Structure 1
Amino acid sequence: MPNINDNELAAKLRMTASRLLKVVRSEVKHDETLSLTERSTLSMIYQHSEILPSELAAIEKVTSQSMSQIINKLSHNSYINKTPSIADKRKVIITITSKGKEYIELKRTKSQEWLAKIISEKTTEAEKEIIMQAITILTRFVD
């Protein structure tokens, strides 16, 4: 096997991952009243039982002011609850509502169903094994 250039591999991986995400988003339309950052923030809240706005801002890499606007919109649309912290009244605890959970779960289900259909239609069993191996390796990049 020829020597693989890390920069070329990184560029191809980035472009392919980006294109795949764009295709999934375009194929799986659902309540597009939320921006990508708002959906990502809601997903982070879903993953945590409770979280502080400052933690969300750090995760999403946005300013506190931007996160405040996102939180206010999500709260206004009944996707999240804002509750004063018992330990520190200056802090607000963010939790997801049942409406927010339904939104995230529906979006994930539709995305997963679409991807499963494409995998089933366009890959062999051997290719599926290669994809699983690649996922194991790629997971190390983000863990």
Structure 2
Amino acid sequence: MEANQDIQFASELRNVMIRLIKKLRKESQTGLQLSLTERSTMALLYQNKAMLPSELAASEMITNQSMSQVLNHLSELGYIIRTASLTDKRKVNISLSELGERTLLQFRHERDEWLARAIAATCSAKEQAILKQASGMLSTIVDLKI
């Protein structure tokens, strides 16, 4: 019976986290013009500075053709820069433009701001401390490699 309760708890936690993620996506006016894959691609470029389109596609688990469409849209918006590789002229490195970086940081800030307001409005100081502890535990779970 305990295993079923553990699975039920895991299911409830997963559902709440999915709902929170969906809610956060809607709380950024800046990010609404972009698809989830476009935002995720921008985040990858922010973390890695520059990547090849094939590396981005592999990281996002989409086809090279789909990534090409993502990159074309980000390019139209002025969010990325394409630069020929110094070692292989057939390859193109993709990086965030200054506008792309500012936009990424803006929609992250909008979501963080909303979440901070929501936590302050709904949680007591004790509950906020519990959330901080849970955040650390969730990070450990996310980093687990099994």
Deviation for aligned residue 1:29:
2.2
TM-score by length of 1: 0.90
Match of 2:139 in 1: 139
Deviation for aligned residue 1:105:
1.0
Q: Which deviates further from its counterpart, 12-21 or 31-40?
A: 31-40
Query: Which of the pair is proportionally richer in helix?
Result: 2
Count of matched residue pairs: 142
Q: Is the 8 A contact 2:26 2:32 kept in 1?
A: no
Name the SS for the 1:32 alignment partner. helix
Match of 2:118 in 1: 118
Write the distance in 1 (CA, Å) between the matches of 2:8 and 2:23. 22
Q: How does 1:27-38 map to 2 (within 5 A)?
A: 27-30=27-30, 32-38=32-38
Deviation digits for residues 64-105 of structure 1, max 9, x if unmatched? 111111112111221000111111222211110011011111
- The answer as to 2:52 corresponding to 1:65 is no
Q: Is the 8 A contact 2:81 2:95 kept in 1?
A: yes
Q: How does 1:1-143 map to 2 (within 5 A)?
A: 3=2, 5-30=5-30, 32-143=32-143
Aligned-partner residue type, residue 116 of structure 2: A
Distance 1:100 1:122, change over 3 A: same
Deviation for aligned residue 1:31:
5.3
Q: Identity over the aligned pairs, expressed in percent?
A: 42
Write the distance in 1 (CA, Å) between the matches of 2:107 and 2:76. 20
Aligned CA RMSD, in angstroms, stands at 1.7
**Long gaps (5+) in structure 2:** none
TM-score by length of 2: 0.88
Aligned-partner residue type, residue 46 of structure 1: Y
